[in-house]
Chain A
Amino acid sequence: MARALINVPAKAKRGEIIEIKTLMAHPMETGFRTGVDGKLVPRDIITQFVCTYNGEVVFSAELFPAITANPFLAFTTIATESGALVFSWTDNHGQTQVQTAPIHVE
């Protein structure tokens, strides 16, 4: 896996609902397409996404081949305390990429 774009507000008020947007660079190869050699291109997709906020899981997603290449996910969370949001993407080969975004809560 490669680059991830994460959009988390750097500052938030306590109790405020903040929107988090993530985009992971990934082909999300469905496993249904044929390549130039006429053979099926093996499946290569992100199947699992998890977001934790200071260690507690706030949101997760199970993804299927119907999700586009470079999967984009937007969701919300309540800003409770300063700390870190940790995002992890796991593909169908079991490889995981982890990214962290700090958040400052006033």
Chain B
Amino acid sequence: MNGGLMRSATTRRNALALGLGALTITLTRPARATPEIMEQAIKAFTGGKRVQEGRVTFDISLLVENGNSVPFSVLVESPMTKADHVTRIGIFNEKNPLPDVAIFTLTPRCGRASVASRMRLNDTQFITAIAELSDGSYWSAVSEVIVTLPACVED
């Protein structure tokens, strides 16, 4: 009788331990970018060059209900001539599984350095938009977005 109780207790303990193990696995499994990983992604984009603030207008909602679709647009002050134009615009995030959102490649034929799209957001976080100019300089704008219902939660 006693032995049986002991046995069931150990199995319960085992079951608990197993459950805990499973819990840590599920907690650690969703891979996430961190601000450091975003810094690395930005470094890869800029080649380690200095990024200055300004010239970029990053338009995104400050508070979104649904992280599955967050519209955004980027406008960069540039004459978009052959000599002086925006060559690339990169969008980076801190807390999605991957730090990159999109990299747009522009040409003087665009006429205006303006792009718009929609992104997924896994959490409340800072989003960075960086423009690369034809003279080799980098300009950025940062926006914090508060997300009440993150993307990637529904199956």
Main SS of the interface on chain A? strand
The listed residue (B103, B118, B119) touching A61 by CB distance below 8 A is: B103
* CB neighbours of A76 from chain B (8 A): 110-112, 114
Shortest distance between the CB of A65 and any CB in chain B (Å)? 6
What is the total of A-B residue contacts with beta carbons within 8 Å?
Answer: 103
Docked Cα-Cα span, A74 to B118, in Å, equals 10
Docked Cα-Cα span, A44 to B70, in Å, equals 20
Kindly state whether residue A87 has any CB partner on chain B within 8 Å. no
* CB neighbours of B119 from chain A (8 A): 66-68
* CB neighbours of A35 from chain B (8 A): 155
Shortest distance between the CB of A7 and any CB in chain B (Å)? 12
User: Measuring CB to CB, which residues of chain B are less than 8 angstroms from any residue of chain A?
Assistant: 30-31, 68-71, 73, 93, 96-98, 100-107, 109-112, 114-121, 152, 155
Interface pairs (19), CB distance under 8 Å: A30-B152, A34-B155, A53-B109, A59-B109, A61-B104, A61-B115, A62-B104, A62-B105, A63-B102, A64-B100, A66-B100, A67-B102, A67-B119, A68-B69, A68-B118, A72-B71, A73-B115, A75-B115, A76-B112
